[in-house]
Chain A
């Protein structure tokens, strides 16, 4: 079934066993109808609506078709490039994040001392809301906040940083908040992937004289490529949705539009600037970008899979 690879959700597909029973079509129809209606109404219809309204001037009272003007405006006033740059900065932290989570997961797999407790504590930030984490970061890293107080107390005033005052440091805060809240999830997912590795494979590698890093790169990583692929897709989609809360609560997109990303601008354009058409155009761009990235990730991993076989 070629269709099973649609959107690349190949490994999420379930092989359905055939159950020998008389099919009662009506009952099945009734069972699926509610979620079908909800999905069509709340997910599919708005998606199509966004595609359409990106090409219109949209207000509560009227909808006027204006072709590509929204897209043209976004490109010509330069805001689209800035937004994409900001998104790119966030996305570029993904490899670092995955690499460190993989190392921690491998240490946990080797059952380092206290790993069970560490696992629970590392995951803890993931259950806190982005607002709580964001405001905590903003409070702790404030100009007169606790962190700078310690530095002043130690008479190292040259290290005092106005974190929210400049673009690079504000970005570092958003990224730090995101990574801090998510690495526990990554560790857990990678650990689950590693649990399917045969211990004997690693043990014989030890006998053959492979050191820790060699085992990590040559045995563990190749064996959990599927899990990494899964997490990468989850993380990329997550980056486009979860970063909203951090940006809202830490920088509010500032200084200026310095940390405003595409998904945050969708909100600003629609609910602060009242430019519904442009917001829809941005949303369309966001959707296409996510779709393309996810497809590329899955393609690359499929290539890696073939190459290994």
Chain B
């Protein structure tokens, strides 16, 4: 497979690839290195290593930026939304993958066609809807919205995966007297675990990073997620103190970076779902 490229072009390509890969690393390093600088140190030399390592930015993060609270909010919202989504979608995917009923293809199509709605379209009516029942500035409103917006992809992803579970296992369980939901619980879920984990991680990344909906639904500092707080509080209060801003940015993506370093395999597998026919 390696024929066709001569040595020189191979080296040139490698160097180009290396430079591109370096940008990914450099952006991270830029945040980390500058998070240990004072503002004066940064202004004098934004690119150098810190002259002396200062933890004052991190102390600020805990003292006045209330980072623990923000992390907790993110964790609560993301985890609850994914729990609801995975529970409901796995149930429905089981029905779509392993049973037959009238109008199944059409109903399935209805769900996945929702993927083409850009959610900016829904932002305002959702806001008005939740404002009417006084649920703005609550975590519960976003938990419901995130879990609903995730449905089309989750349903598609889980249905394709559950379809691969052999029918024979289910049939023999059924003969042994297992009920419909018993099969879901003790056969579909355990065998479908890799797919469930992949979906969980993918959704964790996108909900953790979601901005537009969070921005309008979480306006009081009490309920903000780490991403929304980065966009609003960091962006307004600290935009002229770059080391502090960069510290906040770094902390806000640290959990995702840790997740990525462990689960890159799952994330990349989930990304390509749907890319190939069959």
Contact = CB atoms under 8 A, between A and B. Distances in A.
A249 B4 contact: no
Interface string A231-251: 101000100110011001100
Given A7-B116, A287-B117, A27 B167 contact: no
A129 B211 contact: yes
Interface in A104-142: 104, 107, 109-114, 117-133, 135-136, 139-140
Interface string B132-152: 000000000000110111010
Interface string B86-109: 001101101111111100111111
Nearest to B11: A113
A249 B120 contact: no
A263 B120 contact: yes
A109 B1 CA distance: 9
Interface stretch (A32-40, A69-77, A159-167): A32-40
Interface string A161-179: 0000000000000000000
Given A17-B163, A286-B121, A249 B267 contact: no
Interface string B222-235: 00000100110011
B63 interface: no
Contact of A14 (B27, B117, B163, B271): B163
A148 B259 CA distance: 34
B181 interface: yes
B212 A244 contact: yes
A1 B105 contact: yes
B264 A19 contact: no
A205 to B, nearest CB: 9
A97 interface: no
B260 to A, nearest CB: 5
Contacts of A43: 114, 117, 122, 148-149, 151
A46 B10 contact: no
A226 interface: yes
Nearest to B231: A131
B184 to A, nearest CB: 8
A6 B115 CA distance: 13
B253 A129 contact: yes
B252 A132 contact: yes
Interface in B31-46: 31, 43, 46
B29 to A, nearest CB: 11
B219 to A, nearest CB: 10
Contacts of B268: 119-120, 123, 188
Interface string A43-70: 1111101100100000010000000000
A259 to B, nearest CB: 16
Interface string B117-129: 1111111111111
Contacts of B235: 131, 135, 249
B249 A12 contact: no
Contacts of B127: 270-271
A41 B275 contact: no
15 contacts: A11-B277, A25-B101, A31-B92, A43-B148, A46-B122, A121-B21, A129-B210, A131-B231, A132-B253, A149-B46, A267-B123, A267-B212, A276-B124, A279-B124, A284-B121
5 A-B pairs closest in CB distance: A129-B209, A42-B148, A46-B125, A192-B272, A49-B125
